[in-house]
Structure 1
Amino acid sequence: MGSFPGHVVPGTLFVVVGIWHVWCSIIRYVSDPKSFRVRVWNPVPGFDGKLKYLELYVIAVGGFIDLCIEFLYSTHLKIFVNGTLNPSHMNNFEHSGMLLMFFIFGVVTLLSEKTSFLPLPEGSLCFIASSAFTAEYLLFYFHSTTHKGLEGYYHFILVLLIGFCILSTIGGALMPTSFPVDLCSGIAIKLQGLWFYQTAFTLYGSMMPDGCHLKENEILCHSTISEVRGELLANFQLFVHVFGVLVAVVGAYVYAETKFGRSINRTQEDD
């Protein structure tokens, strides 16, 4: 069983990174389609280069802070019991492992980009990112906390979105010049973050479906009809998120093409 902050914190990180990835992907493509390359991270321009690696710091620092919350604060430092991992906090240990993978991705990418100790091509960084998403996928698929009923349905959708993240990042390594693949990667990350938010507000907030309620860390529905109604509501919520994200992406592309693609269009007209 999770919590409202436990879903909102990682959801915020995924939404922020996803929005930034989508926007940068569009800008790079409309600015120069012929030289477009997939990027697993995108530098922040301006400020004399001081914020260039901000995205990687957000991933590494955000993942580390969330890791400390899960592994140290949530367990109250009761990590071992009778020489073994505390069975009461296996959920926190699993979350820690997932967050550790994203932390490693952020650190490895920073080392690759800022130093000469670990120079890695973009394709390798894509595979490292996909391994972090794979760890997340396995965590939620083989969770020690049994997700069932309405809660299980929301987490099943989350697993599907994580799978979308895995495929798109692997696709970036295999098709390094594909704009659709790079764009889909940002969309997948953003949708995952939005679904973390949706799960938080539905299962632990004010959007609980009628006929269902939270009791003793478990989502209970009064009847099968109430549970099915809740699952249908989840389908509609997913549709709204997907539709909203696609509309936003199209709007961003139209704006970027108008703002940053004019020089290219003029050049083509002159030719």
Structure 2
Amino acid sequence: MGSFKGHVLPGTLFLVVGLWHVWSSLVRYVSNPKKYKVQVWNPVPGFDGRLKYLELYIIVIGAFIDMCIELLYSTHLKFLVNGVLNPSHMNDFEHSGMLLMFFIFGLVALLSQKTRFLPLPEGALCLIVSSAFCAEYLLFYFHSTNHKGLEGYYHFLLVLLIGLCVLSTVVGALFPSSFPVDLCCGIAITLQGLWFYQTAFTLYGPMMPEGCQLKENQISCHSKDSEVRGELLANFQLFVLVLGVLVAAVGSFGFVASRYGHSELGSLHAVHGEINQE
């Protein structure tokens, strides 16, 4: 069983990182389309380089704080019962393991960029973050076998979005100059963050579908029709989020192209247009 805060906290982290990834990929592409490279993280320009690694620090600090909440606060430090892991807090242990993977990725990326001890190429960082998404995918996939009904369906849709994150990061390592793949990765991370928010507000907030309720830490629907109606509502919510993100991405591309567009960008579109006409 989850909670409102338990979905909003990771959702905020994914949403911030995803939006920054989308924006940065658009700016980098329109600035120099011919030399575009996939980047698993994007430096913050300006400020004399003082905020260059802000994204990585957000990942490391955010994952660490959330991990501490799951492992220390939620468990009340009751890790063991009769010499074994406390079965009442297995969800917290699993979430902590997932967050640990993202913490490790951020730490490894910082060491790779700021020191000479771990000079990893961008493709290797893509595979490391894909392993973190894989851990998240497996966690929520097997979580979903325990979640039933409407709650299980919302987590099933979350698993699909996480799978898209896994796929896009792996493909990014295989095709390091693909702008669509890099943009898709940012969109997938953004959608994952938004879906965490949507799940929080729907299942644990004021947007509970009619005929369903949260009672005694369990989400139940009065009838099968109410549950089906809730699942259809979830489909519609996901459609709206996908449409909204795509419209925002297209609008942002137009704005970025008009402000930061390189002269080569127009020539590339002209060449593509001639090829399509032929």
Asked whether 1:11 is paired with 2:48, we answer no
Name segments (4+ residues, structure 1) moved above 6 Å.
none
Asked whether 1:193 is paired with 2:163, we answer no
Structure-2 residue corresponding to 1:137: 137
Q: Secondary structure at the match of 2:164?
A: helix
Structure-2 residue corresponding to 1:123: 123
> What do residues 134-171 of structure 1 show as CA deviations (whole Å, max 9, x unaligned)?
00000011128810100000000000000000000001
CA contact (8 A) 1:14 1:193 kept: yes
Structure-2 residue corresponding to 1:226: 226
Tell me how far apart the structure 2 counterparts of residues 187 and 18 of structure 1 sit (CA, whole Å). Answer: 6
CA contact (8 A) 1:91 1:144 kept: no
Structure-2 residue corresponding to 1:40: 40
The amino acid across from 1:111 in the alignment is L
RMSD: 1.3
Tell me how far apart the structure 1 counterparts of residues 240 and 141 of structure 2 sit (CA, whole Å). Answer: 24
Q: TM-score, normalised by structure 1?
A: 0.97
The amino acid across from 1:37 in the alignment is K
CA contact (8 A) 1:15 1:190 kept: yes
Tell me how far apart the structure 2 counterparts of residues 69 and 142 of structure 1 sit (CA, whole Å). Answer: 22
Counting only pairs closer than 5 Å after superposition, residues 64-79 of structure 1 correspond to structure 2 as 64-79=64-79
Gapped regions of structure 2 (runs ≥ 5): 269-278
Tell me how far apart the structure 1 counterparts of residues 242 and 96 of structure 2 sit (CA, whole Å). Answer: 29
1:265 Cα deviation (Å)? 5.6
Structure-1 residue corresponding to 2:87: 87
> What do residues 181-202 of structure 1 show as CA deviations (whole Å, max 9, x unaligned)?
0000000000000000000000
Q: TM-score, normalised by structure 2?
A: 0.94
The amino acid across from 2:241 in the alignment is H
> What do residues 93-138 of structure 1 show as CA deviations (whole Å, max 9, x unaligned)?
0000000000000000000000000000000000000000000000
Tell me how far apart the structure 2 counterparts of residues 263 and 250 of structure 1 sit (CA, whole Å). Answer: 20
CA contact (8 A) 2:145 2:152 kept: no
Q: Secondary structure at the match of 2:214?
A: strand
Tell me how far apart the structure 1 counterparts of residues 36 and 112 of structure 2 sit (CA, whole Å). Answer: 21
Tell me how far apart the structure 1 counterparts of residues 108 and 13 of structure 2 sit (CA, whole Å). Answer: 18
The count of aligned residue pairs is 268
Q: 1:216–1:265: structure 2 CA closer, same or farther, 3 Å change rule?
A: closer
The amino acid across from 2:127 in the alignment is F
The amino acid across from 2:73 in the alignment is Y
Q: 1:142–1:267: structure 2 CA closer, same or farther, 3 Å change rule?
A: closer
CA contact (8 A) 1:151 1:219 kept: yes
CA contact (8 A) 2:211 2:223 kept: yes
